[in-house]
Amino acid sequence: MTLYCATSNAAKLAELRQAAPPWMTIAPAGPFDCPETGSSFQENAVSKALCYADRVGGLVFADDSGLEVDLLGGEPGIHSARYAGVGASDADNRALLLRNLAGRQSTARFVCVLAVALPGRVEGTFRGAAEGVILEAERGSGGFGYDPLFYYPALGRTFAELTAEEKFAHSHRGHAFRAMLEWLAARPVLYP
């Protein structure tokens, strides 16, 4: 099965390809200009999946994901990638998060919603989450985005201190991706 992934994030694409089962090939779709104007992770994932599916003409999955910090009322949420402004780096986004927390630790979660679509219709959506704590200083050099600040209590390390395999086994994206794979595997006739 070839499944097109609607992302221009090379790190995200590599993570998903590494986790794909032998019966699946994940191919990049695009890039296409598909604005994310929804007010939730689900709305953004669905609109992106439909936009890419119409352009590719095949089975596409798209995700919207981000960090919800409890002390900040759920910020940065759907604005996680652009928290410090359009074109901001991961380091810029993390620095703004730390400034807004003003030296306080907070519980938080990474959230991911994956949407699968064919041209003109959504086939399914899948949500994953990982609960943790935002630290007052970065730890680790792996991962991307907010990983160096996201402490995962179950393993006693930040996501940036985990191997790629460990991170995907516990991450929001890993949970959503495995739910999607299980759903697709049960429909081999519909999605060969």
Q: State mean pLDDT over 173-180.
A: 96
Q: State mean pLDDT over 158-185.
A: 95
Would you tell me how many other CB atoms lie within 10 Å of the CB of residue 186? 9
Q: State mean pLDDT over 64-75.
A: 97
Amino acid letter for position 166: E
* Structural domains for the chain: 2-185 (3.90.950.10)
Between CA 182 and CA 192 the distance in angstroms is 14
Between CA 139 and CA 84 the distance in angstroms is 20
Q: State mean pLDDT over 155-177.
A: 96
Q: Outline where DSSP puts E strands in the chain.
A: 2-5, 25-28, 60-69, 106-118, 121-134, 150-152, 157-158
Mean pLDDT in the chain?
93
Bridge-partner residues for 129, per DSSP? 111
DSSP state, residue 167: H
SS3 125: strand
Please, what sign has the CA dihedral across residues 84, 31, 15, 68?
Answer: positive
Catalytic residue among 33, 54, 64, 92: 64
Chain center to CA of 40:
13
User: Residues near 72 by Cβ (< 8 Å), separated by ≥ 6?
Assistant: 97, 100, 101, 106
64 noted as active-site residue: yes
Q: What is the pTM assigned to this prediction?
A: 0.92
Helix 172-185, helix 10-19: angle, nearest 10: 50
Between CA 61 and CA 42 the distance in angstroms is 12
What is the predicted pLDDT for the residue at 182?
93
